[in-house]
């Protein structure tokens, strides 16, 4: 009797969101499904009451339409999980999820988009050792000398993390005694794994301002829209400028459009539109410097039909516009 070949096990993807990131995760799910080379499942963590049942029902229905197995994991809040600018306590949930899931898995922030080759990261996750403890993407370098544009001293950004199977390191003790520093969660990850983590190319966690630095031979597999302003904040009336110039945000708009085309059920399509509108007005207003991009995008949304004209005027002052705000900064291919 000829043995029946078994299919390879599904890859495990893990993330955590609150209601502010529901729509972002919807687009991410679609982009992963569209570009995956094999099967994967998703587990979504959330802290206490930060993700309403209606949001979970919407994501469950969407995942079923995409044929992506999805499950939710409620997690306890902790007073050590603090808010810092636009970063919510939910970002600390990755520690709780890593403890709860001993098997190999990929953590990915919901403000990302997956492109072709994203799941190749599992090759490195499955070959990482317990001594390494974590798989992380390299920080971008400006030149051959290895000069980094970052001044925070962190070895890696914690938006994409590959967890090999095995026991995790204690994070509660160092967090309880840690001084208040910028991006507390990222600083703690770098403290715990910075010296030992297995590093992989920047392509697996490419921050938007780095996209135009990459060569055609090293295109991004995961683009990370870090910061207070996100693609979904950009008014639809001016998105065509971004897509025309193929700026770094255009990949997210491509994924969003593909999702809208794929969903044919009218009820789900209406729900998708509702969540898209809600996402466009999300984000806490602040006079902090790192919220300057969000303030600009909210101003464009506020002027409504005049937004395209406003973009044309603002583009004349491009050098003074907050970095990473698109379509103000077009992607000019070398």
3-state secondary structure 124-155: HHHHCCCCCCCEEECCCCCCCCCCCCCCCCCC
Which token pair is 87?
A: 């970063």
β-strand pairing of 135-137 with 40-47:
unpaired
CA 35 to chain centre: 16
Q: What is the pLDDT of residue 7?
A: 59
| N- to C-terminal Cα separation, the chain | 58
- Pairing verdict, β 222-224 and 112-114: antiparallel
Extract the runs of DSSP E, i.e. beta strands, from the chain: 11-16, 40-47, 70-75, 105-108, 112-114, 135-137, 160-163, 198-200, 206-207, 222-224
pLDDT in tens, the chain (334 residues): 555 445 567 899 999 999 999 999 999 999 999 999 999 999 999 999 999 999 999 999 999 999 999 999 999 999 999 988 888 999 999 999 999 999 999 999 999 999 999 999 999 999 999 999 999 999 976 544 444 445 468 999 999 999 999 999 999 999 999 988 888 999 999 999 999 999 999 999 999 888 877 776 678 999 999 988 999 999 999 998 888 888 889 999 999 999 999 999 999 999 999 999 999 998 877 777 778 888 888 998 999 899 988 888 887 887 777 766 777 777 655 4
Domains and CATH numbers, the chain: 11-222 (3.90.550.10), 231-320 (no CATH)
Question: What distance in Å separates the CA atoms of residue 76 and residue 47, rounded to the nearest whole number?
Answer: 6
Asked if residues 31 and 39 have their Cβ atoms less than 8 Å apart, the reply is: no
Do the beta carbons of residue 26 and residue 272 sit within 8 Å? yes
315: tokens are 């583009």
Helix, coil or strand: residue 84: strand
- Report pLDDT for 142: 56
Q: b/e string for 178-201 if b means 16 or more Cβ within 10 A? A: eeeeebbbbbbbbbbbeeebbbbb
- The structure tokens 């990850």 sit at 189
HSE-CB at 10 with a 13 A cutoff on CA atoms is: 13
> Cα(331)–Cα(15) distance, rounded to whole angstroms?
29
């Amino acid at each position: 009797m000829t043995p029946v070949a078994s299919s390879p096990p599904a890859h495990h993807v893990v993330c955590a969101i609150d209601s502010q990131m529901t729509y972002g995760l919807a687009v991410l799910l679609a982009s992963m499904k569209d570009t995956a080379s094999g099967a994967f499942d998703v587990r979504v963590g959330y802290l206490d009451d930060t993700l309403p049942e209606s949001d979970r029902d919407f994501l469950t229905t969407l995942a079923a339409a995409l044929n992506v197995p999805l499950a939710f994991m409620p997690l306890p809040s902790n007073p050590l999980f603090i808010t810092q600018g636009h970063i919510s306590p939910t970002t600390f949930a990755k520690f709780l999820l890593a403890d709860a899931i001993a098997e190999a898995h990929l953590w990915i922030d919901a403000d990302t988009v997956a492109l072709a080759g994203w799941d190749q990261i599992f090759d490195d996750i499955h070959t990482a050792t317990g001594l390494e403890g974590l798989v992380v993407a390299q920080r971008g370098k400006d030149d051959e000398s290895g000069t980094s544009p970052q001044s925070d001293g962190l070895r890696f950004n914690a938006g994409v993390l590959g967890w090999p199977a095995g026991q995790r390191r204690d994070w509660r003790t160092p967090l309880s005694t840690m001084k208040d520093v910028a991006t507390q969660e990222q600083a703690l990850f770098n403290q715990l794994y910075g010296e030992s983590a297995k590093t992989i190319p920047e392509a697996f966690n490419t921050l938007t301002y780095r996209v135009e630095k990459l060569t055609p031979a090293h295109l991004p597999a995961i683009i990370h829209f870090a910061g207070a302003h996100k693609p979904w904040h950009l008014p639809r009336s001016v998105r065509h400028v971004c897509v025309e110039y193929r700026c770094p945000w255009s990949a997210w708009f491509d994924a969003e459009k593909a999702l809208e085309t794929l969903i044919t059920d009218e009820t789900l399509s209406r729900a998708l539109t509702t969540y898209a509108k809600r996402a466009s007005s999300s984000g806490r207003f602040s006079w902090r410097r790192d919220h300057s991009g969000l303030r600009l995008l909210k101003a464009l949304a506020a002027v409504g039909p005049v937004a395209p004209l406003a973009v044309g005027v603002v583009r004349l002052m491009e050098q003074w516009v907050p970095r990473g705000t698109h379509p103000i900064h077009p992607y000019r291919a070398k």
